[in-house]
């Protein structure tokens, strides 16, 4: 699974890295959080968590401007025959299907399994027409110790940070969806909520010593096809969902502060010294460090 990740790049950096045509990340969007998001949406965030608004890359055909003049209403009529554009937008993590009665369902849909996404009702339509890429520095995963226990007698969990070994940007395969709040009138700025989920797949050899699942990370040469809304062939999409290239990632243990969403900043990525580890399995060698 993927429940936390780091996304420290600023919009201008993402525009360059992901070849963005239109940067809409400064546009306000509906938040489902009870308290203001911190860091603010669009700012570097080293502890991205579900329900937060996060930068997402998607390709869409421009739509007619809605009644509020904001443009891009999902039910707008096409204006002529404009070309699809690659856009950077802030979407809420936790997919809420169009048919959902309220936004709470998104709390259970932060991830979608690559193996079943084309056949699952909540994700199937989006998998064929609303695919996106979620930019990240890397992601966090918690390893259960085979030897050490915590104060409650349960396996001790050690957080790891997993990132590309070549230092390049990570692009998670994702899906997005539009949800209309029927309690609000047309033109209300919060009438529409756009959400996303991160697709997961089986973990690479070595990485599976941390967790048996990992985000599906696509290569830059796959981005065009994955983002293309005109590509609706299930076999083509299935081929992308089955993509694997072991050996791309490195992982190292980090401090336990990442476990609290109130903690943030680049210090979360600092590695833990080997002598401080207790019952931690080295993902590359299988060695148990610290007893």
> Which of the residues are catalytic?
2, 141
Count of C-beta atoms within a 10 Å radius of residue 6:
24
State both tokens at 86.
Answer: 């690659």
CA angle 104, 178, 87 (to 5 degrees): 125
Main-chain dihedrals φ then ψ at residue 257, nearest 5 degrees: -60, -25
Q: Given the structure tokens 């072991």, which residue do they identify?
A: 246
Q: Which residues contact 96 (CB under 8 A, 6 or more apart)?
A: 103, 105, 106, 109, 177, 179, 193, 195
- Cβ neighbours of residue 50 under 8 Å, at least 6 residues apart? 3, 93, 94, 106, 107, 110
CA dist 49 and 59 (Å) reads: 24
């Amino acid at each position: 699974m993927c429940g936390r990740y780091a996304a420290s790049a600023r919009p201008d950096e993402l525009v360059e890295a992901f070849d963005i045509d239109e940067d809409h990340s400064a546009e306000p969007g509906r938040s489902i959080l009870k308290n203001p998001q911190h860091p603010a949406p669009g700012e570097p965030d080293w502890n991205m968590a579900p329900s937060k608004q996060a930068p997402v890359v998607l390709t869409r055909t421009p739509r007619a401007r809605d009644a509020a003049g904001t443009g891009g209403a999902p039910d707008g009529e096409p204006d002529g025959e404009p070309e699809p554009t690659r856009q950077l937008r802030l979407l809420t993590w936790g997919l809420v299907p169009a048919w959902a009665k309220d936004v709470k369902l998104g709390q259970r849909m932060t991830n979608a399994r690559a193996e079943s996404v084309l056949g699952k009702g909540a994700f199937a339509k989006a998998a064929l027409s609303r695919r996106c890429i979620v930019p990240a520095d890397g992601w966090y995963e918690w390893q259960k110790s085979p030897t050490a226990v915590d104060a409650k007698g349960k396996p001790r969990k050690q957080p790891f940070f997993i990132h590309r070994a070549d230092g390049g940007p990570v692009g998670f395969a994702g899906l997005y969806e539009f949800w209309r709040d029927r309690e609000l009138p047309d033109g209300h700025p919060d009438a529409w909520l756009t959400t996303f989920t991160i697709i997961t797949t089986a973990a690479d050899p070595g990485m599976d010593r941390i967790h048996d699942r990992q985000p599906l990370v696509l290569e830059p040469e796959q981005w065009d096809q994955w983002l293309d809304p005109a590509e609706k062939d299930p076999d083509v999409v299935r081929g992308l969902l089955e993509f694997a290239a072991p050996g791309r990632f490195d992982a190292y243990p980090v401090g336990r502060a990442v476990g609290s969403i109130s903690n943030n900043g680049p210090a979360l990525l600092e590695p833990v010294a080997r002598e401080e580890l207790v019952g931690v399995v080295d993902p590359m060698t299988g060695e148990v460090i610290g007893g």
